[in-house]
Structure 1
Amino acid sequence: MNDDRIIELEIKTAYQEDLLQALNQIVGQQQQQIDRLEATCKMLNERIKSLSSESGGGESVEEVPPHY
């Protein structure tokens, strides 16, 4: 009876180790995706800043309303 219980615990431990490895792999993939998204956001922010500086520093141009 004692051997059966030890075997059962070893099986559960093996499943938990497999699950832990799978979860670690998923977390690693998610971190890579987060890093790529952060780089994309940084690039887009820089692009927006460069476009706003090219168009006159973000100053609004006062136009005459169309009803005049």
Structure 2
Amino acid sequence: MNGIAKKLILADKTYPSTQRCTKCGYVKKGDEKITLQGNRKHGTKHNEYICYQCGYNNDRDENAVLNLLALAK
């Protein structure tokens, strides 16, 4: 190998990476959660992440990746 050590970090299956705001840390619960159908209460699509606390707006998957990267630090 090239001498670079690698470390595998596993997130708990209940870690709310798609529900947590990358900017403020707010975690959506109950009828605020994003599902595969989006969010009916707020009229968002399944691939949209909009924080109902601070207004942060991003792609849902990108927001989840940012949360998982932060968890690994």
TM range (shorter): under 0.3
More strand by share: 2
Higher Cα Rg: structure 1 or 2? 1
Bigger RCO of structures 1 and 2 (CA < 8 A, at least 6 apart): 2
TM-score (normalizing by structure 2): 0.22
More helix by share: 1
